[in-house]
Structure 1
Amino acid sequence: MSRPTPAPSRHRREPVFRTLEIIATTLVRVQGLELRYSGIDNIPGRRSDGAVLAINHTGYVDFIPAALGVYRAGRRTRFMIKSEVMSIGIMRFLVNRTGTVAVDRSAGAQAYRAAVDSLRSGEVVAVYPEATISRSFELKDFKTGAVRMAAESGVPIVPVIVWGAQRQWTKGGIRRMGRSKIPVSVTFGPPITVAGDADAAAETARLREVMYRMLLDAQEGYGPHPAGELWVPARLGGSAPTRAEAAELEEAEARRRAEAKAQKAARPARPWWRHKLGR
């Protein structure tokens, strides 16, 4: 059984974070989302106990139900996000005031150290082991970061499966951010302990297997998956791409990004006075 939502007074020390929690809770109510939680007791309750949350990634807003579940346990989630968002003023403001860890893929060691420090200080740090959104809604191959951080900081990994959030907003043309009354299930699995000298690849494979079984259970208990729907995996009769098809789409997207970046770099720099005049 889920714990009751803690009183706001427990979170007054971080006014920006508290404001975001109010906004997220209000958004969920306006949308009429049916959040279904299980396993909230698996989140460490003491503020001195850190944990890595390993979350599957199916959409742009699946972090909201996961974070609200952690909030119900009286904790806050420090997400690891792409450093590109730091170029946006409001995002830079939020990142700097919510303990979020910005990840620069060209200098990942710095973000890794910041995450380990947060874990050692008792924070709950959320990681997407798949790194990017899964277009197939199946689990992609996992990166080893979650396991390595848990091993080095001496904290457990709490596997998390969010199912249904891809019906709101994801890659492939789905965007329903209005009052949709979509059910979203969030399952927090039993903590996984990783030894400090453990083999990262083997432990990552173990984590993925645990989360795969959790995903199957979440899908089975979710309700009907209508045939042909974009949000339903091909394995369940939906029209989402298979893992192989999703990989091809991602490779094509990566090529387009690389080509655009190369073209931009090849353009001659504009004189300073044209920047001033907007030409």
Structure 2
Amino acid sequence: MEAMEIREGLFRVPASLPKVDRHAEAGERVYQGFIHLIKRVFQLQGLKVTIVGAENIPQFGGALMACNHTGYYDFIFAGAAPYMRGHRLTRFLAKKEIFDIPVVKWLLKPMKHVPVDRAAGAGAINSAVEHLQSGRLVALFPEATISRSFELREFKNGAARIAHQARVPLIPMVVWGSQRIWTKGGVKHLGRSNTPVYVRVGQAIEVTGDWDKDTRTLKQTMSELLDQVRADYAAEYGPFDNGLEWMPAALGGSAPTLEEANRMDEAERAARQQAREDKALYRAHRATAKEERKIAKRVKKAWRRLRRDN
């Protein structure tokens, strides 16, 4: 492995990574303040974050980054690589429901993240394109949700569509180790876990305008990056015992296979849909009952008036 060094008091990067002047985004106080807080949290947790390939992220101008998704910290680690390029900031596409939480919305809105309404995705695409064409960095998770298997799920073609429409580089990126900290259905390790995390950024892939073809190319590239990251991770921090919950089944772990994870996700989606329908039905019943009470009250009042008049 080439010589490495610590930068920003936390991130381990190749010593050959060029040191660049701070980007104008370094002046965004809310977002930069959030990053300062997160860095402090990481230091308290003892996280060891290695970033390789940050030079593939442009120092200036827009670019779309596509990252795998294995844990709830992924958006932070994915944003760490651009941060090595003069404190550049990343605007993430995130589901609209997150923005509906008042406290979270108060934080995300000034950070200029992009809400995604899955029922009307065109609006999110247009917003992402506007960000990119204005020279910002945007990131998304092509899998659209956390992969319980820690393997790459089926990709949506949004990344290829956005990059082609905005005429910006499409940059593949992978994170490994995030699932050890906090993942869907897993045990949280939010204390001082000293967990190592790897981030690897690949070279931009060529976008042709054929969304399905470009999406296949993106997934293949990210799969190769993921294999490399896993090998580097195991070489430095392994060997690992069999049966670990954060390790894919194909590598001897106890995580569900991709097929099992897909079935679990489908069951979860069905349960959420049923819960939404039950909630809507409950509200409808309550509204009907309320209306019936109003009618009964009016009838009773009219009856009393009639008796009084007679």
Q: Tell me by how many angstroms 1:76 deviates.
A: 0.7
Q: Map 1:1-279; keep pairs closer than 5 Å.
A: 1=14, 3=17, 11-46=25-60, 49-74=61-86, 75-195=88-208, 198-223=209-234, 224=238, 225-267=240-282, 268-269=285-286
State the partner residue of 1:277. none
Per the TM alignment, residue 86 of structure 1 is displaced from its structure 2 partner at its CA by: 1.7
The alpha carbon displacement at 1:269 in A equals: 3.0
CA deviation after TM superposition for structure 1 residue 173, in Å: 2.1
Distance in 2, matches of 1:94 and 1:135, equals 28
RMSD over aligned Cα, in angstroms? 1.8
Identity %: 42
Structure 1 unaligned segments of length 5 or more: list them.
273-279
User: CA separation of 1:6/1:19 partners in 2, compared to 1, >3 Å: closer, same or farther?
Assistant: farther
**Alpha-carbon offset, residue 256 of structure 1:** 0.7
Q: Which runs of 4+ in 1 moved over 6 A?
A: 4-9
Amino acid of the residue matched to residue 269 of structure 1? R
Greater displacement, 74-83 / 3-12: 3-12
How big is the shift at 1:215? Answer: 0.5
C-alpha distance in 2 between matches for 1:94 and 1:80: 14
| CA distance, structure 2, for counterparts of residue 41 and residue 182 of structure 1 | 24
CA distance in 1, matches of 2:23, 2:148: 39
Q: What secondary structure, in the 3-state scheme, does the structure 1 residue paired with 2:119 have? A: helix
Instruction: Provide Cα deviations, 1:224-264, integer angstroms capped at 9, x if missing partner.
Output: 23210100000000000000100110111111111111110
Q: Which has the larger radius of gyration?
A: 2
Distance 1:32 1:98 in 2: 26
Quote the Cα distance in structure 1 between the aligned partners of 2:23 and 2:171. Answer: 26
The secondary structure found in structure 1 opposite 2:115 is strand
Q: Which has the higher contact order (CA 8 A, sep 6+)?
A: 1
Structure 1-normalised TM-score? 0.92
- Tell me whether 77-86 or 1-10 shows the greater mean CA deviation: 1-10
The Cα shift of 1:172 comes to 2.4
TM-score by length of 2: 0.83
**In 1, are the aligned partners of 2:18 and 2:55 still within 8 Å (CA)?**
no
